[in-house]
Amino acid sequence: MRLRMVLTTVLTFVAALGLVSPATAYTGNNYTGFFEINQSNELVHWDKSSGSYQSQLIGPEWQDTKLIAALSTDQVVQVRNDNTLWDWKVDHTDNDRWKGYFVGGGWSDVRAITGLGSNNFLALTTDGVLKEYFSALGNHVYTQPRTASGFAGLDKIAGRGSGAFIGIDFSGNAASYGWGSGTWSATAGLGPNWGNVRLVAGISDFRFAVVRTDGVFVEWNQASVLGPWIGTPIGGGWANTRLLG
């Protein structure tokens, strides 16, 4: 499916609403944050560049959002409740306003999305197809360079950068996946007992975060390429979180 930009809307969020300042692209291990939509339907950016997570309000009225995924600190893709896809970016030439670009409809069969990099994300359909989308020119026109079926058992996905993601299946098992030989394959297991994960978001090649069913936020880090994943509980109070991306 080739998606075309049809319409542009502009959110006139000013600095008083907490706009994200000049962005750092999601490249390698440089991206340090994620986005949240809370039960008040506010979009919030969380960043750990200063050593601890700090929140910044992007804006209200995100109640029509079904799925979100961060592609960088200044780009979010959104699947709305009407099953349309929107590409949101910060316009640094227009007072750092967030602008939403209508990409296309027909997203009713998508149940999870995650960012892989700027203008690059992965979608998981209800029948277990993984579809990667990429906009070569960054103009909201997306193509599918990679598509693979046979992943109906996957429940949640979290991007690790280009060509890799963390997957949690319906049985509560987690693994890291990579692209090779024309499909996505598990490259390393993270073990069982992930059934208490309610929400997940990729942050970088070596970091992702989860919100557990008990409302605790946990950050997971891999010390090296072949090293184990270590979880660090950051704190409770995340039961109010509706979506992560």
For the cut 80, the answer to whether the pLDDT of residue 72 exceeds it is yes
- Confirm if 209 and 222 have CB atoms less than 8 A apart: no
Q: What domains does the chain contain, in order, with CATH numbers?
A: 7-244 (2.115.10.10)
Indicate if the alpha-carbon torsion angle 173, 174, 175, 178 is positive or negative.
positive
State the pLDDT at residue 23: 30
- Confirm if 87 and 103 have CB atoms less than 8 A apart: yes
State the pLDDT at residue 31: 67
- Position 92 confidence tier, pLDDT thresholds 50, 70, 90: very high
Percent of the chain topping pLDDT 70: 87
Closest by Cα among 95, 66, 76 to 31: 76
Model pTM score: 0.86
Distance CA 174, CA 166 (A): 7
The pLDDT tens digits of the residues spanning 179-189 come to: 999 999 999 99
Contacts of residue 208, Cβ cutoff 8 Å, sequence gap at least 6: 158, 160, 166, 200, 201, 202, 219, 220
What residue type is 217 in one-letter code?
Answer: F
Distance CA 115, CA 120 (A): 6
State the pLDDT at residue 51: 82
Distance CA 133, CA 196 (A): 29
The pLDDT tens digits of the residues spanning 139-164 come to: 999 999 899 999 999 999 999 999 99
Closest by Cα among 100, 106, 6 to 62: 100
